[in-house]
Amino acid sequence: MGFLSVLSMAHKLVKERVSPGDTVIDATCGNGVDTLFLAELVGPRGTVYAFDIQEEALERTRQRLNDSAAGAALHLVHASHADMVEQISADGRGKAAAAMFNLGYLPGADQSVITTPDGTLAALKAALAVLRPSGIVTVVLYPGHPGGAEEADAALQWASSLPQSLAQTVLYRMAQKAEAPYLLAIEKR
């Protein structure tokens, strides 16, 4: 039996902290895999905010959730994840149980449209602002594509500099392969 993939580990960490009825965020909805996972966790009493700057990603996510039995209140937001504080209802701020990021580009789409260090750092700060205490942010980083290493380094440097009184961070990474995707997880105190 091998180790969990970075995506499976992100799901495991989120599942441990999310309950039915919670508010959760998919900061980069892409194909909707994490959005569906979150919707199933929070159930019909829960709320999912799913962000993407590409309409194609929102449509893929909408289709994936339409094809499922997940009944969570879904808010598909055609905006940058950096704008999540403004996009989440006032009563939901400071109460989110989890925010999931899967960085890089939308598979099967224009690979020149990628997440960037500046936008990602702003979004990570916003995610911490909307999380409740003991809430979690998971960030799957892809250093192997153009621009990915710079983004991964910036996210890791930012997370490493967080005061321990605010959050604790962990890395889940394959040690033998520098360009392999890896997981950064941040738990708010």
What count of Cα atoms within 13 Å lies in the side-chain half-sphere of residue 116? 7
> What's residue 50's pLDDT?
97
Cα gap 168→87, rounded to integer Å = 26
Cα gap 107→60, rounded to integer Å = 11
Residue 108 neighbours by CB distance under 10 Å:
10
- Catalogue all structural domains in the chain, each as residue range(s) with its CATH number: 6-188 (3.40.50.150)
> What's residue 165's pLDDT?
97
Residue with tokens 């919707």: 39
Residue with tokens 């009184």: 165
> What's residue 106's pLDDT?
76
Residues of the chain with pLDDT under 70: 67, 69-70
The values of phi and psi at residue 187, to 5°, are -110, 125
Residue with tokens 């580990």: 9
Global pTM value: 0.95
- Lookup: tokens for 9: 């580990």
> What's residue 17's pLDDT?
97
> What's residue 69's pLDDT?
61
Q: What is the pLDDT of residues 15-28, one digit of tens each?
A: 999 999 999 999 99
Q: What is the pLDDT of residues 105-138, one digit of tens each?
A: 878 787 878 889 999 999 999 999 999 999 999 9
